[in-house]
A and B are shown apart, each in its own frame.
Chain A
Amino acid sequence: ELKVEQNPLFLSMQEGKNYTIYCNYSTTSDRLYWYRQDPGKSLESLFVLLSNGAVKQEGRLMASLDTKARLSTLHITAAVHDLSATYFCAVEDNTDKLIFGTGTRLQVFP
């Protein structure tokens, strides 16, 4: 059974700082997703990573995938307040089920 773990669960960081969120999964997969959720809202797709070594960047966020280590990272560069949200990774197993991590609640303060 596929399990997806994220850490940290909660992250409070100062504007301008860098940090990384980690997503580990337990079984082989070649599809990993990152989502953002604002309070009371649905999920917004950020990145889809489809192969080992894939790296995608959008603004201050960069996601990477290491399928051999079963690890994805979401790196935040020079954080700004607008990035405050909860971030989820999700992994698709070989039956097309999409399993989510526990989420990382990010708060960026001045």
Chain B
Amino acid sequence: SQTIHQWPATLVQPVGSPLSLECTVEGTSNPNLYWYRQAAGRGLQLLFYSVGIGQISSEVPQNLSASRPQDRQFILSSKKLLLSDSGFYLCAWSVYRGKGPNTEAFFGQGTRLTVV
């Protein structure tokens, strides 16, 4: 069965420090991968999505970046965190279109980031 791992679960980082959040998927190949951010009590903002290795689309200009070094690995990074980067970060995957009608999109457990 397919599973998604996201870590760490919580993180407190000072302003100006770097960030690296990792997400890995098991049990499927060539998934679409997504990074979302959710501010407290708000909806989900799509940050990045990827349809393949090295293919990253950025949705919102910001000081974050994403990379996909392997098929089932998606990394969210920042060189210098801002206070406004605080939030709940969620990684998700979906089966690539064309591989069958029964596609779903599943989420990791999320990382709650507090920048202080």
- Answer whether A98 and B43 are a contact pair too, CB < 8 Å, given A31-B103, A42-B109, A50-B101: no
Residues of B within 8 A of A (CB-CB), count: 27
Interface range on chain A (Cβ under 8 Å from partner) = 20 to 34
A48 with B104, Cβ < 8 A, contacts A42-B110, A98-B92, A100-B46 known: yes
Q: What distance in Å separates the Cβ of B37 from its nearest Cβ neighbour in chain A?
A: 11
Q: Are A97 and B49 in contact (CB under 8 A)?
A: yes
Q: Is the CB of A98 within 8 A of B46?
A: yes
The binding surface of chain B is classed by DSSP as strand
Q: What residues of chain A have their CB less than 8 Å away from a CB belonging to chain B? A: 31, 33, 35, 40-45, 48, 50, 88, 90, 92, 95-103
Contacts beyond the supplied A50-B102, A99-B46: 18 A-B pairs with Cβ under 8 Å: A33-B104, A42-B108, A42-B109, A42-B110, A43-B90, A44-B107, A45-B104, A45-B105, A45-B106, A48-B102, A88-B43, A95-B57, A96-B51, A97-B46, A97-B59, A98-B34, A98-B49, A103-B44
